[in-house]
Amino acid sequence: MAILPFNIAKQKELNVVIVGGGYAGLTALTNLLQFAPETHVTLIDPREQHLKITHLHETFRYPLTDLLIPFTDICKRFACRFIQANVNLAPDALADYQNKKQLTVNEEALDFDYLVIATGCNAIKSENTNPEELISLSDFSLKNGSDLLTQRLNLNESSESVISIVGGGATGIQFLFEIQKFLYRINHKAKLQLIHSSPHVLNQFPDGFGTYAEYRMQEMGIDFHPNIYYHHQKSGRILLSDKETRNQFELPSSLTLLFTGKNQENTFITNAFGQLIANRLPLPNIFSAGDCAHYQSLGSNALSAQSAVRKGKLVARNILRHSGFPGLMEPYLHQNLGYVVNLGPSDAIGWLVAEGNLITGISALTIKEIVEAQYDLLLSGIDTYLV
């Protein structure tokens, strides 16, 4: 747990508005109220419930409801206010918010001392030429993975169905192995194939990640098509092209699942302390955290729950520092402490402390469960993060 430096509050109570109820937004909320319980916090999100999105691949084993927490329950637990709404975050609107220290939501004017933007990043969208044959990550936030896949597979009675997974990053790989295990459990004979635009899967991680995952894929009979671009899915076929030659070709595909990454077009640039930058100058009372925030600092800007949580914690502490005396803030220096990728219910690959320290199997799964338990404790009001 980070310790606040000596800080004398200039005013007893602060009004803080947090836009976005994901990992970063809720971490900022809980930390603000941990260090300054008298703070008045208003949480705004267009959804009704917080989704623990890093667990979505597990909905082939567990119900989606296990991953959803109503924002009203969270705000009741922490004695804050929740408003379900969208907020205009255009550059001119942000400048106006800073000048007035006020924003209007659902025709209500909300005064604030500090505004935190933690809206996250949406998945990259693709042209949906045939909705019945295409599934994106957002679809899994609405329905259990098991129900969604079963419903789509029932549309094709062929015992030789082919399911295409597009994207060999962490999300795509975790879904790939969960689906393989799910098909085995329900005794469905669909064939799995992975389409990836790079030579190896998990290429953002140490080399051992991709080597281990590809070995397990080969063991399970999953076809791998590297250096291939996806174009569209239609009428039982998937249109692809070779990355080097640009030649287009088709493969059989009854269903395609798209995991092509996150859209970073609407990223907010901040200084090293988390304050939003506009016209090359920081907006002193507007902070940003999570996947939507790119920090100009030495800290990790990885689009991960780990980085989102650390940015949320930093923003909470820096708001309290900025509002007090002497007003010195802490720069964002967090580096990832490890990462674990699930390869189905009983296997995983990860690293801990140093990227060369690879772990697999039950050891990796245990570490991931411990880390995820920390976040669950945070939402209950217990902060066990040491760094």
CA–centroid distance for 140 within its chain: 13
Q: Which of 149, 162, 137 is nearest to 223 (CA)?
A: 162
Torsion angle of the four alpha carbons 211, 216, 220, 224, in this order, in degrees rounded to the nearest 10: -20
Mean residue pLDDT of the chain comes to 90
Q: Tell whether the model's pLDDT for residue 264 goes beyond 50.
A: yes
In terms of domains, do 231 and 314 share one? no
- pLDDT given at position 331: 95
Phi-psi region of 56 (alpha: psi -120 to 50; beta: other; left: phi over 0): alpha
Q: How many residues does the structure list for the chain?
A: 387
Q: 83 - beta bridge partners?
A: 44
In terms of domains, do 346 and 326 share one? no
Average pLDDT over residues 252-263: 86
Rounded CA-CA distance 101/283 in Å is 11
Average pLDDT over residues 258-286: 88
**How many domains does one find in the chain?**
3
Is position 187 within any domain? yes
Q: Tell whether the model's pLDDT for residue 2 goes beyond 80.
A: no
In terms of domains, do 178 and 246 share one? yes
Q: 354 - beta bridge partners?
A: 352
CA–centroid distance for 187 within its chain: 32
Phi, psi of 274 (to 5 degrees): 100, 0
Is position 38 within any domain? yes
DSSP 290-336: STTEEESSSS---SSHHHHHHHHHHHHHHHHHHHEES----------
pTM of the predicted protein model? 0.91
Is position 1 within any domain? no
| Gap between the terminal Cα atoms of the chain | 6
- Would you call 27 helix, strand, or coil by DSSP? helix
In terms of domains, do 368 and 267 share one? no
- pLDDT given at position 329: 94
Torsion angle of the four alpha carbons 347, 352, 356, 357, in this order, in degrees rounded to the nearest 10: -70
Burial letters 292-326, b for 16+ CB under 10 A, else e? bbebebebbbebbbbbbbbbbbbbbbbbbbbbbee
Residue 252's pLDDT band (cuts 50, 70, 90): very high
Q: Which residue has the tokens 């995952």?
A: 213
In terms of domains, do 83 and 25 share one? yes
- pLDDT given at position 1: 44
Contact assessment for residue 131 and residue 142, using Cβ atoms and an 8 Å cutoff: no
- pLDDT given at position 240: 96
Is position 2 within any domain? no
Angle at 171 between CA 169 and CA 175, to 5 degrees: 115
Is position 108 within any domain? yes
Average pLDDT over residues 210-234: 96
Outline where the chain has alpha helix (H).
23-35, 71-78, 91-100, 145-153, 170-185, 207-219, 305-323, 361-379
Average pLDDT over residues 360-384: 89
Contact assessment for residue 85 and residue 44, using Cβ atoms and an 8 Å cutoff: yes
- pLDDT given at position 367: 87
Lowest-pLDDT range of 15-19, 163-167, 322-326 = 322-326
Give the CATH number of the domain where residue 186 resides: 3.50.50.60
In terms of domains, do 315 and 387 share one? no
In terms of domains, do 237 and 136 share one? yes
In terms of domains, do 116 and 18 share one? yes
Residue 123's pLDDT band (cuts 50, 70, 90): low
- pLDDT given at position 11: 65
Average pLDDT over residues 235-263: 91
| Parent domain of 283 | 8-122+263-336
- Report pLDDT digits (tens) over 49-98: 999 999 999 999 999 999 999 999 999 999 999 999 999 999 999 999 99
